[in-house]
Structure 1
Amino acid sequence: MNTALNTRCLATLAAALLTACAAPSKAPPPAADGWQPLALPGKKPTRYQWTEKDGRLALEASSERSASIWRKRMEPSPGSVGEVSFSWWAQGLIPNASVADVDREDAVARVIFGFGGDIDSLPMRTRMKFELAQALTGEVPPYATLMYVWDSKLPVGTVVVNPRSDRIRKIVIDSGPAELRRWRDHKRDLASDFRRAFGEAPGPLLSMAVMTDSDNSRASARTWYGPVSVGGAAAAAAAVPPAP
């Protein structure tokens, strides 16, 4: 493997694979159902805080040339991966950003799922990237990571394979400015989407996260997230009031 894998590549891997740790200000109390703010190596963190948006309790993400994650780890379940639902409200798009271009790979909204699997079955090059990410962050990356994203231009339904790691794939579910500045409620068949993106059945669900980033574009973005529900059980990213 080329050891010149640069900081941007490492940060991209860490972001998509849901790694690293550090809390921004105004973190929620422990009752926030396991959600935690996570920083990325070499990146200014996006600010996440509890608030209200258009009558809904929400998690506000404010990105100023920044990138970080709000993540919840999950106990792996032997059962099948079911339906997921989530919502987001985006203030505006990031000019020239594209989730398909590693040099402009920013998104105003992402909901991210990490899956387990047999990492030893992956190609040597991929395993070496995983080892590098683990050395950087102290965590073993998921076997596969699936993102739902809002892109500036790519058509809805586009599947994007991350150019830095084919174990990270994205599905565009909102595109362009037409749906900005209102709540967008999404319901997806996670197992079906995983098969479409990776061409195989999903393993156990290990984690879920939300992320708003604008670091590569050196721009700003502001988005609000509602609860994330998996298999009908809410894992509320924004269902707990701020700490007093």
Structure 2
Amino acid sequence: MNGRGLIGAILLVLSATALAQAPPAVIAPFSLAAPGATPPAPWQHQPLPKVERENRFTLVEDTPGGRAQTVLRIDSEAAASTLAHPLSVDPGERPWLSWRWKVSAPVAGSDFRRKEGDDYAARVYVLFDYPVERLSFGERAAIALARVLHGAELPTAALAYVWGTAQAAGAIGPNPYTDRVRMVVVDSGAVRAGQWVGVRRNVAEDFRAAFGEEAPPITGIAVAADTDNTGEAVTAWFEDLRLEAAR
């Protein structure tokens, strides 16, 4: 299977999950670190299999809320890799995921209907502990093989919130490599490029809309930009991400 298929998509938190026996219930903030420092633990850079070039992740100063603070910057030039964070969260109790992001420009070739279009100016992955016994025989076999090869418990379902191009904001569909990852287009096109944009999503409702069933526990989150298929170059910025209870 292609490295950008099932195994490539679900390896996002492989290294990060091993960092702690008890994954945290909160997402470590970038804003508490100094510009130029490494992203705070348990965030960890995760290269992707069979992808030659990696993104560059740096902490810089910006003004997402109108005041200076430390944010994450991702530079992607014909590259792909993620910054991953393990979690242990019940989405029924804390369903609201919020963040701000900014992109230099959309990826012109972005289109979740085509494998060659599986590139985005910015992505936020949410990974779930979906029961293996509910998967098809082929999906169970792929998961079992991946776990043997990589020696880790791998997530079996994921939502990918993306800044896309071909699809309008609000579109939901399967990843072109695997339907265990469902794409959710949050922003689209160049209208808001260069601006900080606030996002607030109910991940439990989005999982239900994407997969047609209740959301299992959240095991991790990851942020990325992605340009290895199209060969384009983009920069993305992320403010702190938060998982919160309903207000």
2 CA distance for matches of 1:61 and 1:217? Answer: 17
How many residue pairs get aligned? The number is 222
- Measured after TM superposition, the shift of residue 46 of structure 1 is 0.6
Answering whether residue 66 of structure 2 is matched by residue 57 of structure 1, we say no
Alignment pair present for 1:6 and 2:2: yes
TM-score, normalised with respect to structure 1: 0.83
Matched-pair identity in %: 31
Given candidates 10, 15, 28, the residue that maps to 2:38 is: 28
1: CA distance, partners of 2:145 / 2:181: 16
Partner of 2:151: 138
Q: Provide the rounded CA distance (Å) in 2 between the counterparts of 1:75 and 1:83.
A: 14
Which residue pairs with 2:232 in the alignment? 219
Q: Distance in 2 between matches of 1:77 and 1:189?
A: 12
Q: TM-score, normalised by structure 2?
A: 0.82
**TM-fit CA distance, 1:45:** 1.1
Could you report, residue by residue, the CA deviation over 1:17-68 in whole angstroms, capped at 9, with x for unpaired residues? 524559xxx7726xx1411111111222111011122334210000111110
2:164 equivalent in structure 1 = 151
Q: Distance in 1 between matches of 2:74 and 2:37?
A: 12
Cα distance between partner residues in 1 of 2:153 and 2:199:
30
Gaps spanning 5+ residues in structure 1: where?
A: 233-244
CA RMSD of aligned residues (A): 2.3
Pick one of 132, 149, 166 that aligns with 2:179: 166
Post-superposition CA distance 1:140-190 (Å, at most 9, x none): 321210111110121111001123221110110100100100101111111
Distance 1:27-1:64 versus aligned 2 partners, 3 A rule? farther
What amino acid is the match of 1:200?
E
Give the distance between the partners of 2:81 and 2:114, measured in 1 at CA.
19
Task: Note closer, same or farther for the CA distance 1:135–1:95 as it changes in structure 2 (3 Å cut).
Answer: farther
Structure 2 letter corresponding to 1:223: A
Change in CA separation of 1:231 and 1:212 when aligned onto 2, cut-off 3 Å: same
Instruction: Show structure 2 runs of 5+ residues with no match.
Output: 17-35
